[in-house]
Amino acid sequence: MIVAPLTASQAVQADSRADPLVDSRVDSVPGSQIKPLDALGSQIEALVKFVRAHPRLQVLTGAGVSTGSGIPDYRDSEGAWKRKPPVSHQDFVADPATRRRYWARSLLGWPQMASAAPNAAHAALARLEQAGRVRQLVTQNVDGLHARAGSSQVLELHGSIHHVGCMDCKAAYPRATVQTGLAAANPRFAALQGAAAPDGDADLEDSFEDFVIPACPACGGLLKPDVVFFGDSVPRDRLAGAWEALAQSDALLVVGSSLMVYSGYRFCLKAAEMGKPVAAINFGRTRADKLFALKVESACGPALQGLLERLDQG
């Protein structure tokens, strides 16, 4: 849909939030009242014009890019939670029971994420970069699929589920290595099954009292996945690099994100502050609908493939 975007200050007034870093609530502000274009083809044509007019894009991706790879997302088309919110940083650090539950479920869920393959959306974004149209790709996903698809200018805003770090001695380990230790120490849990859940989690409800929490092999300290849990902050140097790339870009393209979490939403606010237009490909309502110059209501893969086909036609 074509939208008359608000300024950043207007959007902030319309979307006041109590928590400046993480907020799981759905906006009370209704979405744009502009009717969507009649057909996906018309929306793609508008997207082609947008990309041609703004040849250096910063792309921000979310969970909707990876659902085509079998990785579930957290929210529905209205931006509301489909399931309980994920573990918070504060609970993980402070509560051994929370850590037991997290690692037990991750023992079952991580292999499903590790075996996931890039889909058409990842491949299309890699091709856009190879064509010189992507200045930087910022992803809120922790699955590593953009790099596997061939994108090289990737900033993993929330880290990578495939790495684990010690919070005490700062040693780093591949997640696959930790997986081997988890399975060996917890054979009962390793034999269980659970449906895939977002971010390498699995749907498993059990008594976790006998689960052995992994410790750092080097110092016996607290191991944590190298991801930004809810309630934690994106490292400042990482965010600074993203802002620098946005300043050097002509526009921001959001792909597959409801932007309900502030760490993603603030990219739209920052773009508006810099005078950069924002376009989006996403099914359903987002927190930044009022800021978009263009919104394509579509699954990510078909929209991006359609964009590439039309760009290739010249």
The CATH number covering residue 187 comes to 3.30.1600
- Tell whether 124 and 270 lie within a shared domain: yes
Looking at 202, 227, 252, which one is the last position of a domain?
A: 227
For residue 72, the model assigns a pLDDT of: 82
- Tell whether 98 and 203 lie within a shared domain: yes
Residue 42 lies in a domain: yes
- Tell whether 197 and 287 lie within a shared domain: no
Give 36-61 pLDDT, tens digit per residue: 444 788 999 999 999 999 999 999 99
Q: What type of residue sits at position 136? A: Q
Provide the phi-psi class of 220: left if phi over 0, else alpha when psi is between -120 and 50, else beta. Answer: left
Q: What is the mean pLDDT of residues 194-214?
A: 86
Per-chain mean pLDDT for the chain: 87
Structure tokens at 187: 């054979």
Of 86 and 165, the structure prediction assigns the larger pLDDT to: 165
The CATH number covering residue 74 comes to 3.40.50.1220
Residue 20 lies in a domain: yes
- Tell whether 65 and 124 lie within a shared domain: yes
Report the number of distinct structural domains present in the chain. 2
Looking at 212, 227, 242, which one is the last position of a domain?
A: 227
Give 4-21 pLDDT, tens digit per residue: 465 555 554 445 443 333
**Separation between Cα atoms, residue 21 and residue 233, nearest integer Å:** 7
Query: DSSP secondary-structure letter at 143?
Result: S
Q: Of 213, 255, 247, which is closest to residue 92 (Cα–Cα)?
A: 213
- Tell whether 152 and 24 lie within a shared domain: yes
Structural domain including 213 reads 89-116+163-227
Q: Check pLDDT > 80 for residue 75.
A: no
pTM score: 0.86
Q: What is the mean pLDDT of residues 281-290?
A: 93
Give 119-128 pLDDT, tens digit per residue: 999 999 999 9
Residue 50 lies in a domain: yes
- Tell whether 172 and 195 lie within a shared domain: yes
Of 1 and 287, the structure prediction assigns the larger pLDDT to: 287
- Tell whether 55 and 187 lie within a shared domain: no
Q: Which residue in 54, 122, 146, 158 is the catalytic one?
A: 158
- Tell whether 74 and 23 lie within a shared domain: yes
Burial class (CB in 10 A: 0-12, 13-18, 19+), 48: middle
Distance of alpha carbon 182 from its chain centroid, rounded?
26
Q: HSE-up of 141 (CA within 13 Å, CB side)?
A: 31
Q: Is 59 helix (H, G, I), strand (E, B) or coil?
A: strand
Residue 179 lies in a domain: yes
The DSSP result for 277-313, as a single string, is -EEEE-SS--TTGGG-SEEE-S-HHHHHHHHHHHHHT
Distance of alpha carbon 145 from its chain centroid, rounded?
11
Looking at 227, 260, 280, which one is the last position of a domain?
A: 227
Residue 1 lies in a domain: no
The answer to whether 126 touches 120, Cβ cutoff 8 Å, is: no
Active site residue 89: no
Residue 84 lies in a domain: no
For residue 124, the model assigns a pLDDT of: 98
Residue 296 lies in a domain: yes
- Tell whether 143 and 104 lie within a shared domain: no
- Tell whether 147 and 263 lie within a shared domain: yes
- Tell whether 198 and 304 lie within a shared domain: no
Q: What is the mean pLDDT of residues 251-264?
A: 95
- Tell whether 222 and 243 lie within a shared domain: no
Residue 2 lies in a domain: no
